Amino acid sequence: MTLIVRQASLFLMVTLIAGCSTKADKKPQSDPVKVKTIRIQKAPLPNQLSYSGTIEPDNTADIGFAVAGTVNNVNVQEGDQVQQGQLLASIDATEYNNALAIANASLEQAEDMYHRLNDLYQKGSLPAKDYIEIKSKLAQAQANKSINAKHIADSKLYAPISGIITARKIEKGSTAAPGIPAFTIIKTDIVTAKITVPESEVGAIRNGMDAKVYIATLEDTIPGKITIINPQADAVSRTYSVKIKLINSNKRLLPGMLTNVFINTGKAVNTISIPATAIVRDADDLTYVFVANEQHKAIRKRITAGLLTGSNEVVITSGLQEGDQLITNGQSHLKDGSVVIVE
């Protein structure tokens, strides 16, 4: 009796397990998703190079006094727009004025002595040695006057270029010294967008080529021309410095602004471009698309997107191949491996 009960219990357990397995196997699958696709083909597009860059001033000047003294006047502040020749600051020139007065007196004395002795020399009554000595004293007195006159002129500091004061390093009452910068002026009526170009692409760039410079801060694109290609590569990165000249007559472009620079090389290359609407971006900011394989399943593929063309298509630099069947409609309802029906 006991054996019969055990066998019945075992049969019941097997039946239950089999029933559960059957129910699990019969789990409903998601319905196929209707999609639209296009066959990817390469097409020739203008070879446009793009780089990130920075706006730089056309010229930067660190200026200071050529003579020492106490600053008695400062006429400009940081951020002021100045014109070439404008007075920026001055130092107390009392000492130099006194020195010039002494130099003038010495020069008058030397000139008087020269005129009297020159007449004697012309008559043969003065030895040549004495005549040369007085000529030397006269030349020294003239040079001494010129030096002191220049010291007075150097006590006033003028702007050598038109631009913007970006640094003011002196204050009234401070001591100025030769060779120590008092102001920094940047010239901004013309600026440059500086980019770094890898060795593999620098050969396609030439002086005089047109470039388009997009400034995100201003939401504006400005035309420019390549003016400088530094022939010396960076020793570490092996990149070359390239500058694009930009006219900045309205002073909107400020040094330090970030830019995107686009350069059309004038050549065409076969590239893959797809509709921008086919691209999906997930919560992790990963960019991908779906392609349909021969088994009518959606395969998710990571891509690297490049430039946006004028026809609202995106150039794909990696992730897709010619012949792939790209899903262009219905991809928002897909996941990797979903069954699709191509309409």
Q: Which two tokens stand for residue 124?
A: 């043969």
pLDDT digits (tens, 9 = 90+) for 214-255: 999 999 999 999 999 999 999 999 999 999 999 998 889 999
DSSP character for 331?
Answer: G
Measured CA to CA, the distance from residue 321 to residue 251 in angstroms comes to 46
Q: Which of 303, 225, 218, 299 is nearest to 261 (CA)?
A: 225
> How many alpha carbons fall within 13 Å on the CB side of residue 167?
12
Residue 69 CB burial class (10 angstroms; 0-12, 13-18, ≥19): buried
Containing 118, the helix (H) or strand (E) segment is helix 94-122
Phi (first) and psi of residue 256, to 5 degrees: 100, -15
Q: What is the model's pLDDT at position 44? A: 82
CATH 2.30.30.30 for domain 33-44+270-342, yes or no, is no
Asked whether the predicted pLDDT for residue 6 surpasses 60, the reply is no
pTM value > 0.85: no
Asked whether the predicted pLDDT for residue 284 surpasses 60, the reply is yes
The yes-or-no answer to whether 65-91+155-181 and 93-154 have a common fold is no
Measured CA to CA, the distance from residue 33 to residue 334 in angstroms comes to 7
Contact predicate 326/320, CB 8 Å: yes
Check residues 333 and 187 and name the one with the higher pLDDT.
Answer: 187
Helix, strand or coil for residue 238?
coil
The full set of domain ranges for the chain reads 33-44+270-342, 50-58+188-266, 65-91+155-181, 93-154
DSSP character for 262?
Answer: E
Q: What CATH code is assigned to 50-58+188-266?
A: 2.40.30.170
Q: What is the model's pLDDT at position 143? A: 95
Average pLDDT, the chain: 86
Which class is domain 93-154?
mainly alpha
pLDDT range class, residue 191, cuts 50, 70, 90: very high
Q: Which of 167, 102, 87, 169 is nearest to 141 (CA)?
A: 102
CATH 2.40.50.100 for domain 65-91+155-181, yes or no, is yes
pLDDT digits (tens, 9 = 90+) for 67-100: 999 999 999 999 999 999 999 999 999 999 999 9
73 strand-pairing partners: 90
Between the two ends of the chain, the Cα-to-Cα distance in Å is: 66
What share of the chain has pLDDT > 70, as a percent? 91
Give CA torsion, residues 6, 8, 14, 20, to 10 deg. Answer: -120
47: Cβ contacts below 8 Å, ≥ 6 apart: 204, 264, 265, 266, 267, 268, 269
pLDDT digits (tens, 9 = 90+) for 287-343: 899 999 988 898 999 988 877 776 788 888 888 888 999 988 888 888 888 898 887
Contact predicate 187/161, CB 8 Å: yes
Residue 66 CB burial class (10 angstroms; 0-12, 13-18, ≥19): middle
Cα distances (angstroms) measured from residue 242 to each of 60, 210, 293: 18, 13, 45
4: Cβ contacts below 8 Å, ≥ 6 apart: none
Phi (first) and psi of residue 282, to 5 degrees: -90, -175
